């Protein structure tokens, strides 16, 4: 229901992935951004790239997981973290373990292995046996957590 027929709106998705509403209000005869989401830079998909994480309480907001460094330090100095991070040392599959990350959004789950029937401990063991495993997490975080999600690609 349009109450004021002289105001027009359009919804767009910007090149950064923001969902935006623009309004056209005469007599300015130009589109003005009315609102945009996400409003939090850490909600932008891939903001800090592979093996990076976003924290609005740090400056810069992009950080590397412990044991990793910025893939492109020059870009990170310019506050562009989308190139992500790289491992400091060569992976030693049978020796290296995992770093626990708390209060962090899970990576993309389009190519994960999911098993709701095993415990988190069994999930960790399964992941440690697979040299392609890059991360694991609980499938369900309620009541102490259960199930298993395993990633085998860049995070």
CB 44 within 8 A of CB 16: yes
- Predicted TM-score (pTM) of this structure: 0.74
Residues 29, 96: Cα–Cα separation, whole Å: 61
Helix (H, G, I), strand (E, B) or coil at 124: helix
Residue 144, Ramachandran bin (φ over 0: left; ψ between -120 and 50: alpha; else beta): left
Half-sphere exposure of 20 (CA within 13 A, CB side): 13
**Mean of the per-residue pLDDT values of the chain:** 89
Q: Report pLDDT digits (tens) over 91-111.
A: 888 888 898 998 888 888 888
pLDDT at 4: 67
Q: Report pLDDT digits (tens) over 29-68.
A: 788 888 888 888 888 888 999 999 999 999 899 999 999 9
Residues 94, 126: Cα–Cα separation, whole Å: 13
- Strand locations in the chain, DSSP E? 8-13, 19-24, 31-37, 52-54, 62-64, 68-70, 85-87, 112-115, 135-137, 148-151
Domain ranges of the chain: 8-37, 40-89, 94-155
């Amino acid at each position: 229901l349009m109450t004021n027929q002289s105001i027009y709106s359009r919804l767009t998705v910007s090149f950064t992935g923001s969902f935006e509403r623009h309004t056209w209000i005469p007599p300015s005869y130009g589109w003005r951004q009315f609102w945009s989401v996400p409003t939090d830079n850490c909600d932008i998909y891939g903001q800090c790239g592979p093996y990076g994480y976003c924290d609005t309480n740090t400056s810069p907001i992009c950080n590397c997981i412990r044991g990793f460094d910025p893939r492109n330090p020059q870009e990170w100095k310019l506050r562009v973290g989308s190139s992500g991070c790289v491992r400091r040392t060569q992976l030693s599959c049978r020796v290296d373990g995992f770093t626990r990350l708390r209060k962090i959004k899970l990576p993309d789950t389009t190519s994960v292995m999911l098993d709701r029937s095993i415990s988190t401990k069994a999930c960790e063991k399964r992941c440690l046996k697979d040299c392609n495993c890059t991360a694991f997490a609980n499938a369900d975080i309620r009541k102490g957590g259960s199930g298993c999600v395993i990633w085998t690609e860049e995070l």
